[in-house]
Amino acid sequence: MTTSAWIVLLAPLAGFIVIALSWRLLPWRVHGWIGTLAIATSFVAAVATLIALQGRGEEERQVVSVAWDYAVAGGVDAKLAILIDPLSVLMICVVSGVSTLIHLYSVSYMAGDRGYTRFFAYLNFFVFSMLLLVLAANFLLLIIGWAFVGAASYFLISFWYRRTTATAAGIKAFVVNVAGDVGLVLGTIFILRETGTVDFLGTFQAIPEAFGRNDGDLVAGAILLLVGAFAKSAQVPLHTWLPDAMEGPTPVSALIHAATMVTAGVYLIARMHPIFEQAPAAADVGAIIGCATLLMAATIGLVVTDLKRVIAYSTMSQIGYMIMAVSSAAYAAGMFHLMTHAFFKALLFMAAGSVIAAMAGTQDLDRMGGFRRAMPFTYGCMVIGGLALSGIPPFSGFFSKDEILGVLIDRGGWHVGLAVLGYLGALLTAIYTFRMIFRAFHGDPVPEAQELEHGHLYHAPEHTNPATGEVEDTDVGFPGPEHHIAEREGTMKLAMGGLAILATVGGVVQIPKVNEALHTFLEPAFHDSRFYEELQPTGGMVLLGMAIGAALGALGIFIAYQLWVVHPERPAAIRARLAGAHRLFVNKWYFDEAIDLLIVRPSAWVGRFANSTIERGLVNGALVGGSTGAVRALSAAVRGIQTGYLRYYAALLLVGLTGLGAYFLISA
């Protein structure tokens, strides 16, 4: 079993290295298949690991496999070790499975782009980093995987690097991620100081003894870990990078910013559950932030006009659900939603990619419409994804989202309030999701759609940056000249079809009152949790909650139908009536401006001050210039003695002689 686990981790790395080293040696199409094959190998190995794990006894399902023991220095037991337990196996299966499908999709989607090989190399590197993060058995490897994932995200967001908007977005993502990295490392140190070990299992055993309940250090460490989680998972207030990250190619958005990287925060909290259970204050912070993000992102999703950004805010919102879940000890529910969300969100992004290709790169919802007849397959996938997202039975999203809310109600206390807000969020989710679908696919076909109905894919007369309108070319660093839609590419259809099936039937692993396969599967990973057994998903209230959830979803779809299909003039009237709220939502709750004011400008000021005053004035002027000036003055003074006048030298001699004589006379 450990062998297959290591293969899971190393296959993408091998793929990355092979692609990177052979980029000139092989034709570019081959690299796409090499990448896909590497991830497929990883997926097969992940399934093998899953089977092997289930074949073991219940008590033996947390295995640490050590490959290398670094020299122990300073009391830190650094080992190259992976932890194979149900939680990590679930994650690797989801990650490698969804990644395989996305690689398959990218094989056709990115064809024609001059950076095709680089794309697949980066994608493989990303999958390797994510798997490393998930399989890590100690904090060190976790941090390494965390950082690598951030780097891969940066590479891929600014993939079209000659676009200034893309590079700016990449930098923004990276900087916010680094803020999270700092939190993660500091949190690790806080916890390491008391427990003395970086190994996960050792730390979790040591937590109850090392810290009392809600111990100050532990809460601080846990909140710092949360900072890391929020940055990676785009929660308030470290969320501003995710919408801008849509500058990257659509497969990147699907893989990194929907299915995998942004879920790393959820995984972190679930993995660190002993810490959060011992420091409930921090867990409460997580729950509240998750809930706040959930609502805030949903409100922004209602007004955004960029297709991919709608889906991005939807991601932010759904991850808010997950964070809320795992912070409130609904671990199985949170992981369940993570899995189903990966399916339907990746599907939504893929479909969006297809639509954007049909629009020749434009992502503006205002310019889209009526693609239903021209792109039936894409439309079908989008609807399936939308239904899953809105929580309509029998799609997978229904079971996972309502399980979260059910467990929250079961938890009782103020968590019930969170559940109510969660239901409100579900309503908003349905509204904005189907707003997007109705606006893009229903209504009168726009010219691009009409062209497509006649069998001709629209190409813009000149290539421009969709956001700013700058003219581009199709050479390396910019998108390629070809556009690929799902209806025409077999691999795209295959990938989207696979995800559509999973989004539809993925809920069967945890249907209340029928089976609780996931809950049982994950139990060995959470055996030291106080809440895991208590918060059973099959309580009496759960069925009622599920009915309410389904009803809200349907209501949301109905509202969206009314507003954007039946009476398309109404949204403008509502916007006029609620202009203030609309402005708040359109400006994304002014977070970007706030961060600019509070952090960016003072930092820039400090930097300028440091440059002009400290660097130029103090270091260059006083220290460097001062010391050289002093030496120069001293040497000039000494040089002044060499006048060249003979009599001057003689006088110096005489003065010296007199002085010496005086000295000896006095001392005698």
Question: Binding residues for another protein, per CB under 8 A?
Answer: 639, 641-648, 650-651, 654-655, 657-658, 661-662, 665
Question: What does the alpha-carbon distance between residue 511 and residue 525 come to, in Å, rounded to a whole number?
Answer: 21
Q: Which residues pair with 64 in a beta bridge?
A: 83
Tell me whether residue 600 or residue 660 sits nearer to another protein (CB atom).
Answer: 660
Nearest distance from C-beta of residue 629 to another protein, angstroms = 19
Residue 454 or 639: the one with the smaller Cβ distance to another protein is 639
Report which of 245, 495, 448 is spatially closest to residue 351, judged by C-alpha positions: 495
**Closest separation between CB of residue 147 and another protein, Å?**
59
Which 3-state string (H, E, C) describes 263-279?
HHHHHHHHHCHHHHHHC
Q: Which is nearer to another protein, 505 or 652 (CB)?
A: 652
DSSP-H helix ranges across 480-578? 490-505, 517-522, 540-561, 570-577
Closest distance to another protein from the beta carbon of 641 (Å)? 8
Nearer to another protein, 68 or 645 (CB): 645
Cα–Cα distance between 481 and 475 in angstroms, integer?
Answer: 9
CA distance 329 to 418: 13
- The distance of closest approach from Cβ of residue 646 to another protein in the complex, given in angstroms and rounded to an integer, is 4
25/641 with CB nearer another protein: 641
Nearer to another protein, 634 or 654 (CB): 654
Whether 585 contacts 317, CB under 8 Å: no
| 3-state secondary structure (DSSP) of residue 238 | coil
| The residue to which tokens 């399980």 are assigned | 403
Q: Is 308 helix (H, G, I), strand (E, B) or coil?
A: helix
Q: Please count the other Cβ atoms lying within 10 Å of the Cβ belonging to residue 568.
A: 16
Is 81 in a helix, a strand, or coil?
strand
Name the DSSP class of 564: I
Bridge partners (DSSP) of residue 306 are 364
Q: Which is nearer to another protein, 609 or 648 (CB)?
A: 648
Whether omega for the bond prior to residue 394 falls within 30 degrees of 0, making it cis, is: yes
> In whole angstroms, how far apart are CA 259 and each of 340, 343, 357, 362, 483?
9, 7, 21, 24, 24
Shortest distance, position 633 Cβ to another protein, whole Å: 15
CB of 656 to another protein, least distance (A): 10
CB of 628 to another protein, least distance (A): 19
The whole-angstrom separation of Cα 56 and Cα 70 is: 29
Distance CA 231, CA 145 (A): 15
* Nearest approach, Cβ of residue 645 and another protein (Å): 6
Task: Tell the smallest beta-carbon distance from residue 626 to another protein (Å).
Answer: 24
Q: Residue 540 or residue 644: which is nearer to another protein going by CB? A: 644
Q: How many residues does this entry show for the chain?
A: 668
Q: Look up residue 118 and give its two tokens.
A: 């680089």
Residue 627 CB, nearest approach to another protein (Å): 22
Using only C-alpha atoms, the chain has a radius of gyration, in whole angstroms, of: 30
Q: How far is the CB of 655 from another protein (least distance, A)?
A: 5
In the complex with another protein, which residue's Cβ is closer, 460 or 652? 652
Contacts of 467 (CB under 8 A, 6+ apart): 165, 247
Pick the closer one to another protein by CB: 631 or 654: 654
Residue 464 has phi, psi (to 5 degrees) of -135, 160
Nearer to another protein, 471 or 665 (CB): 665
Cα(589)–Cα(593) distance, rounded to whole angstroms?
9
Tell me whether residue 468 or residue 642 sits nearer to another protein (CB atom).
642
Are the beta carbons of 328 and 407 closer than 8 angstroms? yes
Collapsing DSSP states into helix, strand and coil, what is residue 159? coil
Q: Are 12 and 38 in contact (CB under 8 A)?
A: yes
Smallest distance from another protein to CB 620, Å? 29
Amino acid identity of 488?
R
Compute the least distance from the CB of residue 74 to another protein, in Å: 56
Nearer CB in complex with another protein: 24/639: 639
Question: How many Å separate Cα 387 from the centre of its chain?
Answer: 24
Judged by beta carbon, residue 414 or residue 649, the one nearer another protein is 649
Cα–Cα dist 317/234, whole Å: 9
Tell me how far apart the alpha carbons of residues 111 and 101 are, in angstroms, rounded to a whole number: 16
| Residue 600 or 657 having the CB closest to another protein | 657
> Within 10 Å of residue 147's Cβ, how many Cβ atoms?
17
Shortest distance (Å) from residue 631 CB to another protein = 16
Give min distance, CB of 657 to another protein, in A. 7
Q: Helix 28-54 to helix 116-135 angle, to the nearest 10 degrees? A: 20
